[in-house]
Amino acid sequence: MRNIIQDQLSQEEKDQAESLVHQLETIFTDKLSALTEKERGSYKAINETNKLFVNKIWDYRRNSNALSSPDVDWDEFEKDYKARVFTENLLGRLESLAYRLESTKILHDYDNYQDALNDYSYSQYSKGAGKPGFTEKVAELKQFFNRSKSVSKTSETEE
């Protein structure tokens, strides 16, 4: 299979996409958190059951607020709740877009690699035919094709 994908974006669309991503980055600068791995382990994302629990508490607050604890800052709870829903929805949309972008990139990579292999084969043929310059080209490209078998290393420990 050759040329399984073609670039469907015009230069104007590419420029617009770059601009929109820049706008998003600008909007979110200093507004989003970036947890360390240790912090992620401490806070963790809540699972689906716990999200249902939070949603149920929110429903009780909205429909029977007399049953809500006076020890909870409900204004802050509502802000956090709405922010979580917004970020979760936006994140889902961005993840879907990122998945499609990654899939498209994979197809472009595949096309490039197949064409590169075709060019290498042509270079090998041209080298064999004695055409000037191809001996050097093949010698330089040969490094990308390791034909030796990989040997697994065993480690010996001394006590």
pLDDT in tens, 107-118: 999 999 999 999
Distance CA 55, CA 81 (A): 9
Q: How confident is the model at residue 159 (pLDDT cuts 50, 70, 90)?
A: very low
**pLDDT at res. 111:** 94
Q: Assess if residue 3 is contained within a domain.
A: no
Q: Assess if residue 131 is contained within a domain.
A: yes
Q: Assess if residue 77 is contained within a domain.
A: yes
Q: How confident is the model at residue 92 (pLDDT cuts 50, 70, 90)?
A: very high
How many alpha carbons fall within 13 Å on the CB side of residue 68?
A: 20
Residue 111 Ramachandran class (φ > 0 left, ψ -120 to 50 alpha, else beta): alpha
Q: Assess if residue 66 is contained within a domain.
A: yes
Q: Which domain covers residue 78, as residue numbers?
A: 45-144
Q: Assess if residue 91 is contained within a domain.
A: yes
Instruction: Give me the helix-helix angle, 74-128 and 134-141, nearest 10°.
Output: 140
| Number of domains observed in the structure of the chain | 1
Q: Assess if residue 84 is contained within a domain.
A: yes
pLDDT in tens, 98-154: 999 999 999 999 999 999 999 999 999 999 999 999 999 999 999 999 876 655 555
pTM of the model: 0.75
Across the chain, what does the average pLDDT equal? 91
